[in-house]
């Protein structure tokens, strides 16, 4: 019989920890949450300060039975669930469900599963932090109240089976509003000028800094360049530098894994959890970019050994998020000397991404030399500009380059320019005027939606992935690829003082893994915006998150916070009973019927969606 019982959430985590502890410790798993609010309207006693009633979930009754038996045999019980609000709540629920006495129960926390971290946690036990539990409880109760009161309203007024949620409905609103921005976007045409010069067999590409609105203006510019001499008027060389990005938080890991590895947000969290539970990375739910002194030293030693001391540049990053806990750390490897880790291909790829990003964050800036060349045109007051960039010292770029979500980065990477001098005459090969088109705002990917939610203060590291999954599971949002359409564009080319015009075709509007709202999402969103503006107001939702933070810090009472929200919300729910179902804007014009000229309308009928011609 082991004197000490350690309870964690997952079997994988239990297995790793048990490997670090001796025969006096038994490590077991609760398999996640063991208690929850039961279904139905009896779970929360609204009249008595929103007092919740919890029940052991059906699938955990056997788990609790076994844990009770083990707890009776142990001298000391360590509750070692994750170091966040959700983990604190799991520990509290275990204590309550197992009826554990304070004298024999200790709470231990750690941000990485390594032998030293576990030993340190055992040496520094504490009591359960009730403020963290209250913050989690407030979120759970508020979300239950909103869901249970709003969803029936949608059933009565729009369609049975619909659901609403405090954060999910705000996320859907973002996707709906972006879709409407795209639909209403007025595409405008412009002409962009580029020139190619031949310098002793090497190519120099230059561009006109301004754009022309019409083909006639572009044509006139090319006409003005016939017979012109092109001369270098100025050469401006400036030193430049690029600094590395901070180590990963939950949201930046989700974004970069989406861009570089094509992972979904949920997949990123599943793979990261496996790496964490195997002791390979620190805790994967965090909004801190902080690294411990121990981690910084580990990175410094690895950089110096692998690349040389000149590549090392220890740096502390400041977390922008006000809610972030600086005592927590960014997501990082637990052992920097391990360049690879993980059992399968995806674990290895994600670990490599985390290793590179963390190592790069502690490396020297990249040193660059940027050259800007101004080229005069003898027949025009306009100037062409060529730019080049040379890496003088790689610094962190030796290891890692951050990706971006920018879809309009049509500029090729700026490379080295051929040898040039002021006053040098240039031999023109051609000048091209290519028609381009303005682009609407980009539709969200899973990762860019997470980025937007974080920027707006909506949700926290533990809620991003579940929110993105929920809005797809409930068929408010679909993620898919869409083929583009052919579009004609014009290209004018001046070569040997002769201008030729070409009509060419390009594909536009192709989308890959983008989020699209369904028709029902648009109807539900409009209904909620009209009748529950507070519930899905962006700043209100962000303020609620801040209030959860205040509860966690002990500066706000959870029941008072919920009362302040619930009174007005419940009154609005009751007022919607008076809304006539036929008044709900449940129709959408799809286009025009080519035979009759009448509008084609999609709307929600009594039995679901239908399409009709004419009003």
pLDDT tens for 75-109 read 999 999 999 999 999 999 999 999 999 999 999 99
- What pLDDT sits at residue 263? 96
Helix (H) or strand (E) holding 367: strand 366-377
- Dist. CA 249–CA 265, nearest whole Å: 13
Tell me the CATH architecture of domain 236-370+383-419: Orthogonal Bundle (1.10)
Predicted confidence at residue 461, as pLDDT, reads: 87
Burial classification of residue 525, based on how many CB atoms lie within 10 Å of its CB (0-12 exposed, 13-18 middle, 19 or more buried): buried
pLDDT, residue 321, reads 62
DSSP H/E element including 309: none
> Active site residue: 78, 276, 283, 464, which one?
283
Dist. CA 91–CA 81, nearest whole Å: 6
Evaluate the CA torsion angle 10, 16, 21, 26 in order and state its sign: positive
Locate the domains of the chain by residue range: 4-128, 149-185+442-584, 236-370+383-419, 590-615
What integer pLDDT is reported at residue 354 of this predicted model?
A: 98
Q: Where does 536-594 have alpha helices with state H?
A: 538-552, 558-575
What is the Cα–Cα distance from 363 to 340, expressed in whole angstroms? 19
pLDDT at 534: 85
Give the per-residue pLDDT at 581.
Answer: 65
| Bridge partners of residue 205, in order along the sequence | 196
Task: Give the class (CATH, top level) of 4-128.
Answer: alpha beta
Alpha-carbon span 95 to 30, nearest angstrom: 12
The burial class, CB within 10 Å (0-12 / 13-18 / 19+), for 418 is: middle
> What separation, in Å, do the N-terminal and C-terminal C-alpha atoms of the chain show?
77
Half-sphere exposure of 432 (CA within 13 A, CB side): 13
Please say whether the beta carbons of 158 and 586 come within 8 A.
yes
8 A C-beta contact, residue 261 and residue 349: yes
Res 596: pLDDT = 87
By C-alpha distance, which of 544, 506, 529 is closest to 584? 529
- Strand 4-8 to 76-79 pairing: parallel
Q: Which stretches of the chain drop beneath a pLDDT of 50?
A: 326, 409-412
Q: Return the CATH number of 149-185+442-584, one of 1.10.460.10, 3.10.180.10, 3.30.460.10, 2.60.40.10.
A: 1.10.460.10
Please check whether the two domains, 4-128 and 236-370+383-419, share a CATH topology. no
Cβ neighbours around 200 below 10 Å, total: 7
Three-state secondary structure string covering 459-514: CCCCCHHHHHHHHHHCCCEEEEEECCEEEEEEEEEEECCEEEEEEEEEEECCEEEE
Rounded distance, CA 400 to CA 247, Å? 12
Q: What pLDDT does 410 receive?
A: 44
Closest CA to 133 of 165, 93, 101, 102: 93
Asked whether the whole model's pTM tops 0.85, one would answer: yes
Q: Is 283 a catalytic residue?
A: yes
- Distance between CA atoms of residues 464 and 444, nearest Å: 14
Distance of CA 359 to the CA centre of its chain: 22
pLDDT at 158: 85
């Amino acid at each position: 019989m082991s004197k000490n019982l350690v309870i964690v959430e997952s079997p994988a985590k239990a297995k790793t920890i048990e490997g670090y502890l001796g025969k006096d410790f038994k490590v077991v798993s609760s398999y996640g949450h063991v208690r929850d609010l039961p279904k139905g309207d009896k779970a929360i006693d609204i009249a008595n300060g929103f007092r919740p009633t919890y029940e052991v979930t059906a699938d955990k009754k056997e788990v609790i039975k076994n844990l009770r038996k083990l707890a009776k045999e142990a001298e000391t019980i360590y509750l070692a669930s994750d170091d966040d609000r959700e983990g604190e709540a799991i520990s509290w629920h275990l204590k309550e469900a197992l009826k554990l006495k304070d004298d024999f129960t200790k709470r231990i926390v750690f941000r990485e599963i390594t032998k030293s971290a576990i030993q340190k946690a055992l040496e520094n036990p504490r009591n359960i932090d009730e403020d963290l539990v209250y913050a989690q409880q407030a979120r759970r109760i508020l979300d239950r109240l909103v869901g249970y009161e709003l969803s029936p309203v949608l059933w009565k007024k729009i369609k049975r089976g619909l659901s609403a949620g405090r954060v999910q409905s705000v996320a859907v609103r973002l996707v709906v509003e972006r879709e409407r921005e795209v639909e209403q976007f007025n595409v405008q045409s412009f002409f962009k000028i580029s020139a190619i010069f031949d310098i002793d067999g090497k190519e120099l590409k230059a561009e006109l800094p301004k754009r022309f609105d019409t083909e006639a203006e572009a044509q006139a510019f090319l006409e003005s360049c016939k017979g012109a001499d092109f001369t270098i008027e100025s050469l401006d060389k400036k030193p430049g530098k690029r600094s590395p990005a901070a180590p990963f938080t939950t949201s930046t890991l989700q974004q970069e894994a989406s861009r570089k590895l094509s992972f979904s947000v949920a997949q990123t969290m599943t793979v990261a959890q496996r790496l964490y539970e195997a002791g390979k990375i620190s805790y994967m739910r965090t909004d801190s970019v902080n690294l411990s002194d121990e981690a910084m030293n580990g990175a410094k030693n690895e950089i110096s050994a692998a690349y040389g001391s000149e590549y090392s540049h220890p740096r502390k990053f400041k977390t922008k998020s006000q809610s972030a806990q600086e005592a927590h750390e960014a997501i990082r490897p637990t052992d920097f000397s391990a360049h690879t880790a993980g059992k399968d291909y995806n674990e290895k790829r994600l670990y490599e991404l985390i290793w590179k990003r963390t190592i790069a964050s502690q490396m020297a800036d990249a040193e660059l030399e940027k050259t800007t060349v101004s080229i005069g045109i003898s027949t025009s007051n306009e100037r062409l500009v060529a730019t080049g960039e040379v890496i003088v010292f790689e610094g962190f770029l030796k290891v890692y380059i951050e990706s971006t979500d920018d879809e309009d980065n049509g500029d090729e990477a700026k490379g080295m320019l051929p040898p040039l001098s002021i006053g040098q005459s240039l031999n023109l090969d051609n000048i091209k005027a290519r028609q381009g088109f303005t682009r609407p705002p980009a539709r969200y990917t899973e990762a860019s939606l997470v980025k937007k939610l974080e920027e707006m203060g909506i949700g926290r590291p533990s809620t991003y992935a579940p929110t993105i999954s929920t809005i797809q599971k409930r068929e408010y949002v679909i993620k898919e690829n869409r083929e583009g359409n052919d579009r004609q564009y014009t290209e004018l080319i001046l070569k040997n003082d002769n201008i030729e015009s070409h009509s060419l075709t390009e594909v536009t509007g192709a989308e890959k893994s983008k989020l699209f709202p369904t028709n029902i999402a648009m109807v539900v969103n409009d209904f909620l915006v009209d009748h529950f503006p507070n519930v899905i107001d962006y700043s209100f939702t962000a303020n609620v998150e801040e209030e959860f933070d205040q509860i966690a810090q002990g500066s706000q009472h959870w029941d008072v916070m919920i009362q302040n929200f619930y009174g007005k919300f419940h009154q609005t729910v009751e007022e919607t009973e008076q809304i006539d179902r036929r008044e709900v804007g449940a129709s959408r014009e799809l286009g025009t019927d080519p035979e009759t000229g009448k509008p084609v309308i999609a709307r929600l009928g009594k039995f679901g969606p239908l399409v009709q011609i004419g009003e």
